[in-house]
Chains A and B, each alone.
Chain A
């Protein structure tokens, strides 16, 4: 079962607008990952967050993890058509024994109109 809730499911913005995608968990997040995917392709790693209150930026994309480590947000400033795609958050979850499985939310489909 997926325990990461992403919102919104889809988003259409005009080029140049800012936007935010959220990822929420009912349990504490110990490793939170953001990926981007073009349709029919593999996932491209964007950022990883581990500490409460942590914030990371890369070009026009900023990701934050709240102090309680149960919610993360991905913010894109001045969106461009190249930002279009599916954004997925992933998190480490303890599996059987000492094994950790990497699970993902359902993703957010971003469309940027020129």
Chain B
């Protein structure tokens, strides 16, 4: 089945450690997005990529890094520089602009 998969669903890390969240899609979509969701904040854009080997910062990119080496994959690394990493992270993909985006089920990251 076609879709977008995020893993793992829950992730726990110690403060000061980097952690990488996985996002894979088999929808042949060019564009991929990473969002962070905190209670009462809606979705805030971290990074987005329109094409392989190219990506742009979103509204809250500090403390995060991404790569887009393959069309299907857009992993997000939460670095130790991110001051408040505990949040719900959502990945999305879509074909072109002005088309609907498909979302993964999210990864809940807890840093202790």
Contact = CB atoms under 8 A, between A and B. Distances in A.
Given A48-B100, A102-B33, A102-B94, A41 B45 contact: no
B50 A104 contact: no
A107 B42 contact: yes
Interface stretch (B13-21, B65-73, B77-85, B101-109): B101-109
A45 B59 contact: no
B110 to A, nearest CB: 13
A29 to B, nearest CB: 11
Interface residues of A, number: 31
Main secondary structure of the interface of B (DSSP, over half): strand
B45 A101 contact: yes
B102 A99 contact: no
> Interface centre among A31, A43, A105, by most B CB within 10 Å?
A43
Contacts of B43: 43, 88, 90, 103-104, 107
Please classify how large the interface on chain B is, using the bins under 10, 10 to 19, 20 to 34, 35 or more.
20 to 34
Nearest to B101: A102
Contacts of A100: 31, 50, 97
A49 to B, nearest CB: 11
A2 B97 contact: no
Interface in A1-52: 1-2, 6, 9, 30-31, 33, 35, 40-45, 48, 50
A2 B59 contact: yes
B48 A33 contact: no
Nearest to B104: A42
B108 to A, nearest CB: 7
Contacts of B2: none
Interface of B: 31, 33, 35, 40-45, 48, 50, 56, 58-59, 88, 90, 92, 94, 97-106, 108
Interface of A: 1-2, 6, 9, 30-31, 33, 35, 40-45, 48, 50, 88, 90, 92, 95-96, 98-107
